[in-house]
Amino acid sequence: MLIPRHARRNIERFLDGYPAIAVTGPRQSGKTTLVQAMFKDRPYVSLEDLDQQGFAESDPRRFLEQFPDGAVLDEAQRCPALFSYLQTRMDAEKRMGRWILTGSQQFGLLSGISQSLAGRVSLLPLLPFSLAELQAVEGASGKLEELLWQGLYPPIYDRKLDPAVWYANYVRTYLERDVRQMVQVRDLSTFQRFIRMCAARTGQQLNLTSLGNDCGVTSNTAKAWLSVLEASYIVHLLQPHHRNFRKRLTKSPKLYFYDTGLAAWLMGIETPGQLAIHAQRGALFETWAVSELLKRRLHGGLTSNLYYWRSRSGQEIDVLIEKGETLIPMEFKSGQTLTSDFFKPLEDWLALAGESAGRAYLVYGGDQRQSRTIAEAVPWQRISELTQVAMP
């Protein structure tokens, strides 16, 4: 079953304005499936195929001459020599939407684009499914713990795979294929421990020194490895907002995984039942909510406008959505029953922010929407109604 992706509309929209579209994102997020479904009439070449890769590297001009009307070039970062030849073709032909590139490593793909194809390519990240995409085909679980534990990677839903087995293979493949190509890792077990320590810190402020110490590596090594996880769309760093409202602010970003299923597997959570009583349940819920907001922005062809806010005294707002001069605060609570404590951070921040604050929202683990004076309380299953708030 092919689940429609929201990013498709924006890919179609960009076709008339750019010679090439580059779809990037983590491995197994559905990039190849999407572009093959959209461009059935185009030749398709995977540059992970060693024969095709060798041809493209040894004779890039002849390789591209096979495709007078363009093509889909999957994992294009595998052959960086192609980018300058693509530039020549695009500039000579001046035809829009002929070349579709995909890539699962930001370093290689973005480097090639920035050096040779700047201004000629529209870049669109494709992350795993959003809840709204699954709900549209009745593919989403109605139980919060199951959703957080399964995560939202497409193969788990398309092929009805066991999440525990799939994530084990995903991590193993990722370590063996991608990490060694992007950074020198002498001891893979140390790097795997590093990823697990990152998962245990999802939803927390990043402290590279502490993270490195827990893994037995230097803070510089931890920083380099973290950049690899960012480039591979495994983790995202949510930056703190700069507006201080007469408070001293923290300057460290918060670490989030893009997918809760992967984070839960790395934490050793084996069933939804374990997750229901796990100490990290709240952090995983917050991770999922932030990811849903990010997906709406990125799949819409936009950069993130999400921040968090934390003062040195400990006051914190999970997410601030920046819309011009207006800041929209959001809090995420995994509890099923609304309590006054849920609203306290929003109430305190609104008192500080004054006229710069927009309507406040609380996403929680229950099932009833309530409009309170302080904030709008939105059930987790209806978070798609809030993702629009992050859009222009």
Domain harbouring 53, CATH code: 3.40.50.300
> What was the pLDDT predicted at 117?
80
Please report which residue ranges of the chain form alpha helices under DSSP H.
7-14, 31-38, 50-58, 60-65, 82-93, 106-112, 131-135, 144-150, 154-158, 163-173, 180-182, 188-200, 208-215, 219-231, 260-266, 272-276, 281-299, 340-353, 384-387
> What was the pLDDT predicted at 245?
76
> What was the pLDDT predicted at 359?
95
Q: Is the pLDDT of residue 114 over 80?
A: no
pTM for the full predicted model: 0.93
**Based on the domain organization, do 270 and 238 belong to the same domain?**
yes
> What was the pLDDT predicted at 179?
73
Distance CA 353, CA 358 (A): 9
Identify which of 183-187, 220-224, 280-284, 310-314 has the greatest average pLDDT.
Answer: 280-284
**Based on the domain organization, do 179 and 325 belong to the same domain?**
yes
> What was the pLDDT predicted at 135?
92
Which residue among 125, 148, 183 closes a domain? 125
Instruction: Answer yes or no: is 91 within a domain.
Output: yes
Count of structural domains within the chain = 2
For 51-90, the pLDDT digits (tens) are: 999 999 999 999 999 999 999 999 988 888 898 899 999 9
**Based on the domain organization, do 150 and 246 belong to the same domain?**
yes
Residues in contact with 33: Cβ distance below 8 Å, sequence separation at least 6, in sequence order? 2, 154, 158
Q: Is the pLDDT of residue 105 over 70?
A: no
Amino acid, res. 64: L
**Residue 334 Rama label (left phi>0; alpha psi -120 to 50; beta):** alpha
> What was the pLDDT predicted at 183?
73
> What was the pLDDT predicted at 270?
95
For 216-228, the pLDDT digits (tens) are: 999 999 998 898 8
Distance CA 218, CA 96 (A): 47
- pLDDT averaged over every residue in the chain: 91
**Based on the domain organization, do 14 and 32 belong to the same domain?**
yes
Confidence label for 163 from pLDDT (cuts 50, 70 and 90): very high
Instruction: Answer yes or no: is 1 within a domain.
Output: no
Instruction: Answer yes or no: is 158 within a domain.
Output: yes
Which residue among 74, 97, 125 closes a domain? 125
**Based on the domain organization, do 35 and 98 belong to the same domain?**
yes
**Based on the domain organization, do 94 and 167 belong to the same domain?**
no
Which residue among 92, 125, 158 closes a domain? 125
Q: Report helix angle 219-231 to 208-215, nearest 10.
A: 100
**Based on the domain organization, do 144 and 107 belong to the same domain?**
no
Instruction: Answer yes or no: is 284 within a domain.
Output: yes
Instruction: Answer yes or no: is 38 within a domain.
Output: yes
**Based on the domain organization, do 334 and 392 belong to the same domain?**
yes
**Based on the domain organization, do 380 and 311 belong to the same domain?**
yes
**Based on the domain organization, do 36 and 103 belong to the same domain?**
yes
Instruction: Answer yes or no: is 49 within a domain.
Output: yes
For 1-39, the pLDDT digits (tens) are: 678 999 999 999 999 999 999 999 999 999 999 999 999
> What was the pLDDT predicted at 226?
92
**Based on the domain organization, do 91 and 153 belong to the same domain?**
no
Instruction: Answer yes or no: is 144 within a domain.
Output: yes
Enclosing domain of residue 303: 131-392
**Based on the domain organization, do 45 and 194 belong to the same domain?**
no
* CA distances, 29 to each of 123, 313, 383 (Å): 16, 39, 21
Instruction: Answer yes or no: is 2 within a domain.
Output: no
For 322-378, the pLDDT digits (tens) are: 998 999 999 999 999 999 999 999 999 999 898 899 999 999 999 999 999 999 999
